[in-house]
């Protein structure tokens, strides 16, 4: 049984999306996370805002926007 928390799962998903993106500006929406992890939208909104801020992104209306370092 995995001891990975939901916070960790969302954080890892966000980091992977940023690392694997070819775009300079990466947007990760709660809709994407809800579909990928099969969680409730309210849960995503609860976790995405602090996660986004912790990685240096900007959170706006259910979307985390992160500018990749060049």
User: What's the mean pLDDT in 2-9?
Assistant: 87
d(CA 24, CA 57): 13
Residue 10 domain flag? yes
Mean pLDDT to the nearest integer, 36-51: 95
State if pTM tops 0.85.
Answer: yes
pLDDT at 68 over 60: yes
The reply to whether 1 falls in a domain is no
Angle at 64 between CA 26 and CA 14, to 5 degrees: 70
Range of the domain at 55: 6-67
Per-residue pLDDT at 1: 47
Does 32 fall in a domain?
yes
pLDDT number for residue 70: 66
The whole-number pLDDT of residue 3 equals 76
Q: How many domains does the chain have?
A: 1
Q: What's the mean pLDDT in 4-25?
A: 94
């Amino acid at each position: 049984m995995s001891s990975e928390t939901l916070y960790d799962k969302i954080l890892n998903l966000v980091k992977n999306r940023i690392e694997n993106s070819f775009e300079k500006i990466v947007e990760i929406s709660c809709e994407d996370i809800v579909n990928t992890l099969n969680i409730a939208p309210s849960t995503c909104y609860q976790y995405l805002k602090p996660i986004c801020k912790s990685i240096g992104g900007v959170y706006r209306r259910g979307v985390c926007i992160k500018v990749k370092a060049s």
